[in-house]
Amino acid sequence: MTSPDARTDLVGLLPEEAEQAIAAHFQERGQPRYRAKQVLGWLYERGAADFEAMSDLPRAERDALAERFAFTSPAVAKLSRSVDGTTKHLWRLDDGELIESVLIPTSSRLTLCISSQAGCAMACAFCATGWAGYRRQLTAGEIVSQFRGARAWARDNGYGEITNIVYMGMGEPLMNRKAVFPSLAILNRGYGLGARRITVSTVGVVPGILEMAAMPEQYRLAVSLHAPNHELRQRIIPLEKKHSIDELMEALRKFDEAGGKRITFEYVMIQGVTDDAALADELADRIREFNAFVNLIPFNPIPGTDWKPSSRARLNYFVERLEARGISAFVRESRGSDIAAACGQLRAEATEGRKPVQITPGSTMKARPGREAAAGD
């Protein structure tokens, strides 16, 4: 992988590629073989922010590495910490683009929510990220660097080690498979995060789900379903027009048949939109064939819409109806909503004062012309 300045981005290389490239570099310079292990130790275990931090390497070797390799390390543009401990990083990339990641601590784990794109082309009506449209894909190095930066902050601030990662930040991960899939391997094989502790969230990009089904690693999949039928889903999720819910279910069967790859369904609860009592049974009928779990997510208010979250009584009703049909369900409580870090609230552009796009309930915002095609699939 090559950075814009033509140097190879070390952070974005697969572990075996990184080892090979570094070993070849030191061999050319007549350095001992152990130099490569030193660099890899700094990269994966010690979390060096740059080559300068690799203090056990001679000055000449650090300088030579910096000339040959890039070391993706975005700057912290802003740090926000919630009253519940949730922490949001706003990262500024080399070209000035802004992305966000979120650390979510609980008593038993520390989860990092990372971005896969700058902006998003999906334009789901209930999510703030898509308001400004899609800007560009992230590289594998830019994705992994969010983990590296958040891990360093967590270690320095008493949060401990990151235990879980979810690709649930800005962007649709499966519209950036060229970078997301290598980043999965880097986090898994380079940084030692178990595949079952890494979850990829998708609104329903069928080709990407099928590719994940073929992977030997048991990465988890979270499907942003949000409606149990085609008519309602296409109102709030534009991708439904391209990949219908029936096509999505068929892809999920393939994923499920691969074995050991758990599916979680995400379902946003919007008062008067997605929480009609009859929808609970329809949802159960739609997903009952899967040994899956349902996260019911109360809608997190965002500027530009009058939608409201469902009542606690309706949330409880959905849980009871689903569990009566043998489907495990849980209400995911909002974390970090006071710093706009809750589900559906990430929108880095707003931090820089860019004007939000207004939407109305029942409508969907269109992505900028040509942007969805640029995202690829």
A 10 A CB-CB count for 81 gives: 15
Give the C-alpha distances (Å, rounded to integers) separating 105 from 6, 99, 156, 256, 350: 38, 20, 15, 29, 25
Told to judge if 343 belongs to the known catalytic residues of this protein, a careful annotator would answer: yes
Q: Is 127 a catalytic residue?
A: no
- The residue from 100, 142, 266, 349 that is catalytic is 100
Amino acid found at 345: Q
Q: Are 237 and 227 in contact (CB under 8 A)?
A: yes
For 80-100, give the DSSP string.
EE-TTS-EEEEEEPTTS-EEE
Do the beta carbons of residue 323 and residue 329 sit within 8 Å?
yes
What is the enclosing helix (H) or strand (E) of 143?
A: helix 140-156
At residue 375, φ and ψ (nearest 5 deg) are -65, -25
Catalytic option among 61, 343, 349, 372: 343
| Nearest Cα to Cα of residue 226 among 166, 277, 291, 298 | 298
Q: In one letter, which amino acid is 57?
A: L
124 beta partners: none
Residue given tokens 């040994």 in the structure block: 291
Question: Distance between CA atoms of 111 and 118, rounded to whole angstroms?
Answer: 21
* Residues with catalytic function: 100, 343
